Structure 1
Amino acid sequence: MDDESVAERLAYHLWAAGPARTAQALARAGRRAATKLAFAAAGRHLESAARIARTAGLRELELSVLSLLTLVASRHAGYGGSTFDLLERAEYLARMLGRETEAVHFLFVRPVGAYTSIEKDRGRWARRAYEQGQASADPIIQAYGRHAWRAATALDRADRAVTTYGQRFAEGLLLLLRARLLHARGEPVDVVRAAAEAARARSDERGAHLFARRSERFLAEIDQEPPDI
């Protein structure tokens, strides 16, 4: 019997002991599945754990589960509507629990993810993070706001230049910037490398050799980093 089946049976038997233990068992099963790169199974376990915790009003536990679930969701299917919904719920819970820095982190992740997936709401989320950073005395929250806004402004201007002036030679640079954003977010090395290789290929295709060399240097930097544990 595989680990997933064992975890599901254990969670079923724990149900009688209460929702907290059940959700915790499912969360552990989800974490184990994620470490084995079984992201679909991990997502199912964690979604069940989050649903149980939410129904039982266990906000601390739900937030803990959502923190892992948002990471698993972004790695399994990329950023999309469901992942952004999870981030919104996590932000809400963090604020309810008085964890302002965590709340702004979840808000910050949304525009960063939106820029890597060309999500239409990216500017609005970046603006929210910036405004909250401006209103906060916490230097960490201030930094989140500034970064969410330095990425939104730069990439929006670049996108407009490409669209308006037909400067297709810069497309590879935009892809490289998005690869660097993925790297800064702590995405898996394989995901970052694929994005950087796509940037290099696009620059080569456009004859933008300077940008292609930048992508090559970034790829070399990635290869020198210690492997993910």
Structure 2
Amino acid sequence: MQNRYSIEAILNPRETLSELEQQTLLESLIPVTRDGFGTPVETDDIKNHVLGVDAIYVARFSGGAVGFGSFDHLCIAGERVLYLSGTVFESRHQKKGLLGKILDQAITDANCRYIATRTQNPVIYICLLRRCAVLYPGGIVKPPEPFRSIALAIAQRLGMKSFDPETFVEVGTYGGCMTATEPRYEGEERKATETFAKIGLKPGRGDAAIFVGQLQNPLVL
């Protein structure tokens, strides 16, 4: 990765940033988000993922914002959980390892044992898989505790009324694929494709799964 990339960590953006700084940050990430997804994502949705979170990590290229990862710090079933709320990168800055860099920094900062996210994206799945000692669902073994309780709590938090506690999948969450084209992960896509097939996750029909992992300690990539 070139030195022109940097990651800016902002904790509690609504509390630590002035109104002007919040507006400036949001305005810089709206076009980035829409470009990254290739769809006209609503401004309020972007705002929730940029400002309505416990922490946001902004990826910059030569000073300009090119993407972000936002997180919430949850306590579920007595366990601290790092929840990846949202992430997107401008299309020309994708496949540069930026999500991995953001995850590593967020994991270090949060000092949590567990990580979770809701996604239909194989790129995000593989990035989590690389950093977890175990990651559920995997489609083979029924998710044990506390993974099940964590997933159920997150599903309830997100209002996933049709969430399946056995597969951790909800059919039709998004109403379709979140991106203009279904994302692919070169090199390790087969592992994601196999797992998605085992748990019945179909991005094309808008499905989403909650993935919960126990982080490696220490983190070994």
**Greater fraction of residues in helix:** 1
More strand by share: 2
